[in-house]
Amino acid sequence: MKIMEISSKLLGGLEPDFEKRGFRLNKKKREFIRDVNGCTQIVDLFFFKKGNSIVIKPEIRIKVERIESIYKSITKIKDRPYLTLGNHLFDILRYMEKGMEKGLRNIPLSDWLVKDERDINKLIEVIPEYFEETIIPYFDSNSSISRVDELLNKYPRELSVHNYLYPLRSNIAIIAAKLNDNPEYEKLVEIYEEELEEAEETYKEDFYKLKENLKNVCENN
């Protein structure tokens, strides 16, 4: 089986269900996208070859335009990947079902495995269930600056299910806190500064530049 063939059949089979909710298919990136109130909601399906099978890794993401535009305005690395909120679908599922927000990197994840046509047809039936029961509720509940602030800054010293790309998460988190007038902003900055001591230098530079200029940046965006 070829990835191109599998992805075409699966995405085509899912498209009607996603279109009903206002999502459009980006065939090149193999993702479904919806724009809502300054946020972009994305469902990614990553396809990998594994022996005679195809592995599909599902991820969901929320990009908040105002937050990410501020980050992009200060960072030196213009092609850096950005993530406001998001993770593997099953990490998000555990959060939605059990409230598990931290320490998930040690829990094994399950991707979907496609061996034949029957597996494709089964996924076309099953994925819309995840879509309605997990993905849409997560998107609807968390596509706002206030929720980004709440979710990313709830456990500032812990890895977060809502943005596992640490230390990128710390930079996104302080922007959200500042925009949301979080009364704990200064304390959060101190915590993240401590946590970033061993981080990659470019992330630290971004953080210190944000710390210095965030007030003016926020007022101009």
Instruction: Calculate mean pLDDT across residues 25-50.
Output: 96
CA distance 137 to 203: 32
pLDDT of residue 31: 97
Two structure tokens written together for 57: 């890794």
Percent of the chain with pLDDT over 90: 68
Mean pLDDT highest for which of 29-43, 76-90, 203-217?
29-43
Say which amino acid occupies 31: E
Q: Name the nearest CA neighbour of 193 among 216, 170, 165.
A: 170
Sign of CA dihedral 173, 178, 179, 180: positive
CA distance 66 to 82: 12
pLDDT of residue 164: 86
pLDDT of residue 220: 56
pLDDT of residue 111: 92
pLDDT tens profile 113-157: 999 999 999 999 999 999 999 999 999 999 999 999 999 999 999
